[in-house]
């Protein structure tokens, strides 16, 4: 994996308060797991940016190496890796995700 891809991913993670690496786009998710995370973020009213890993194979593989996490989607908040679909869903259902976002200073409309 090239250093350029890792640097580019790192810069994107730093530049966006909430960043979702996903398959597809928020308006047209290309997998069920990505769709679940989009629904959670939309429900909370969180503003976020998304990277469609299907657009670039190097990013698709690079994000797995960057986080040392084997699956996509991957959610980052204030530069911190939160997790994939299962973790985000569990945190949402327990109320922990809302608290985490609030603690990080992330504005939520529906909170």
Tokens found for residue 87 = 């973790």
Judge residue 12's burial from the number of C-beta atoms within 10 Å of its C-beta, 0-12 exposed, 13-18 middle, 19 or more buried. middle
User: What's the distance, CA 19 to chain centroid?
Assistant: 5
Q: What is the pLDDT of residues 12-33, one digit of tens each?
A: 999 999 999 999 999 999 999 9
pTM: 0.95
In a domain, 110, yes or no: no
In a domain, 23, yes or no: yes
Q: What is the pLDDT of residues 32-84, one digit of tens each?
A: 999 999 999 999 999 999 999 999 999 999 999 999 999 999 999 999 999 99
In a domain, 53, yes or no: yes
Q: What's the total number of domains in the chain?
A: 1
Tokens found for residue 6 = 């890792």
Tokens found for residue 15 = 């530049």
Q: Which of 89, 79, 80 is nearest to 32 (CA)?
A: 89
Please report, to the nearest 10 degrees, the dihedral formed by the alpha carbons of residues 67, 72, 78, 80 taken in order: -30
């Amino acid at each position: 994996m090239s250093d350029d891809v890792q640097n580019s991913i790192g810069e994107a993670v730093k530049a966006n308060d909430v960043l979702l690496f996903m398959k597809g786009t928020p308006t047209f998710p290309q997998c069920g797991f990505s769709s679940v995370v989009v629904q959670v973020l939309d429900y909370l009213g969180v503003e976020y940016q998304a990277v469609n890993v299907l657009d670039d194979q190097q990013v698709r593989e690079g994000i797995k190496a960057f986080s040392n996490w084997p699956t996509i989607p991957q959610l980052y908040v204030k530069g911190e890796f939160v997790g994939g679909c299962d973790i985000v869903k569990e945190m949402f259902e327990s109320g922990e995700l809302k608290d985490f976002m609030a603690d990080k200073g992330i504005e939520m409309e529906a909170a």
